[in-house]
Amino acid sequence: MTERRLLVVDDEAVQRLVVASAAARAGFAADSAATLEAAVSRVGSVAYDVVVLDLGLRKNDGIELLRRLCDSKSDPVLVFISAFDERVRQAAARLAMSLGLRVAGTLGKPMRVDELIALLRRVPQAAGPGHLEQIRTIDPDILAAAIEHGELTCAFQPKVTLNGRHLIGVEALARWRSPTLGHVPPSLFIPVAERSGLIDRLTWHVLDEALAAFRAWRMASPDMTLAVNLSPLSLTDLSLPERVSDALAKADVPAAALVLEVTEGAVMTDCVAAADILTRLRIRDVKLSIDDFGTGHSSLLSLMRLPFSELKIDQSFVRDCLDDPEAPKIIRGIVSVARDLGLKLVAEGIETEPVATQVEKLGCLVGQGYLFAPPLAATALYEHLRANAADDAAD
């Protein structure tokens, strides 16, 4: 087995030595870099398994390196070390993850060597290509053909009220089972669709399929809503509101039943066009939801300027709300912003009862997550709806 490679990026010479010796004890061959330039040149020529990064590298150089890593041939697992408090380290970890990078953990300074060794020993052996590498190896032509041939389908995940567990809506999530690649998750094929200009075709395919299934369910549950994800990159097509109206008319579904979820993590390329399109969608009575709230760059600004009607608290805050002391404070803040702006609020990624209880206690009334139901195939969701209707009738 070839030895795994680790790069330590830190401007303090002693720290570089300490990390390198801990790395050797955890079975890594270590290189070091004292500056951003040196680190960029290293990751450009060597495919590292792990990068240990000091966030306090001059100015924002530590963060700058994250962006460079996305474009480099390396796809390492990251470990952050920093004298900043836990909150700053967590923010950096979230930023890295939103860029598609993997994070093994964060450590404070002064660092405990035994903790670093334990963390490095837990870094899994690379089993095939990493996340970024997998995205790069999906051929856009194969994805285009998959959309064309109907290989992409929708799964539907319920949104429920937290107090009564009543189903109030579903979110359509794209699924791709390729005959050659097997099951490919959206975290891999959505970025490929976005980079290769296929995202609009994918969106229209998902919207048509989701509306067709939803139409039948509305008979049983007329108040429920259908949410469909919209890439921020699609917010440049000024004909989008008309096309959405056409799709709704074709499926005979009222506009007020549709929620378009726009992820806030990505940057909107053209803010004027985005505001134009979103406003016209709202005028047509389509609801707009800001997805993964709290991970983006300009969340509050977007909220105030754009006509969103719903806000989805990102899973990372929900998941950590019992363990991370900062998470409940953030959720409480988001609840209060949502209330002041008159927005509906959804907590996503609820996996356990204690988390559901805590999130409800913090003021969130609607939830989505594996605790209630995973994303389900259309037929399974129909069964779920019938069971739900029977429960409601028995109440």
- Say whether residue 291 binds Mg ion (CB under 5 A): yes
Q: How many CB atoms lie within 10 A of CB 206?
A: 21
Task: Please name the residue that has the structure tokens 């009543």.
Answer: 166
Element (H, E) at 341: helix 326-341
CA torsion angle 383 386 388 390 (round to 10)? -140
Among positions 60, 137, 163, 187, the unique one binding ligand C2E when judged by CB under 6 A: 187
Among positions 49, 292, 310, 320, the unique one binding Mg ion when judged by CB under 5 A: 292
Residue 110 binding: pick among ligand C2E, Mg ion, none (C-beta 5-8 Å cut-off by kind): none
The mark string for 228-267 relative to Mg ion (x by CB under 5 A, - otherwise) is -x-------------------------------x------
Residue 82 binding: pick among Mg ion, ligand C2E, none (C-beta 5-8 Å cut-off by kind): none
Nearest to 188 by CA among 178, 71, 290: 178
Element (H, E) at 16: helix 13-25
- Say whether residue 236 binds ligand C2E (CB under 6 A): no
- Say whether residue 375 binds ligand C2E (CB under 6 A): yes
- Say whether residue 185 binds ligand C2E (CB under 6 A): yes
Nearest to 78 by CA among 39, 45, 112: 39
Stretch of 93-101, 136-144, 300-308, 368-376 lying at the interface with ligand C2E (CB under 6 A): 368-376
Closest residue to Mg ion in the complex (CB): 261
CA-based angle 148:151:154, to the nearest 5? Answer: 110
Type of residue at 251? A
Q: Which residues pair with 369 in a beta bridge?
A: none
| Eight-class DSSP state of 284 | T
Residue 279 binding: pick among ligand C2E, Mg ion, none (C-beta 5-8 Å cut-off by kind): none
Q: Which residues contact 351 (CB under 8 A, 6 or more apart)?
A: 319, 369, 370, 371
The mark string for 242-271 relative to ligand C2E (x by CB under 6 A, - otherwise) is -------------------x-x--------
Which residues in this chain contact Mg ion in the complex, by CB under 5 A? 229, 261, 291-292
Under the rule (CB under 6 A), what is the footprint of ligand C2E?
Answer: 157, 173-174, 185-187, 190, 203, 206, 229, 231, 261, 263, 291-292, 315, 348-351, 368-370, 375
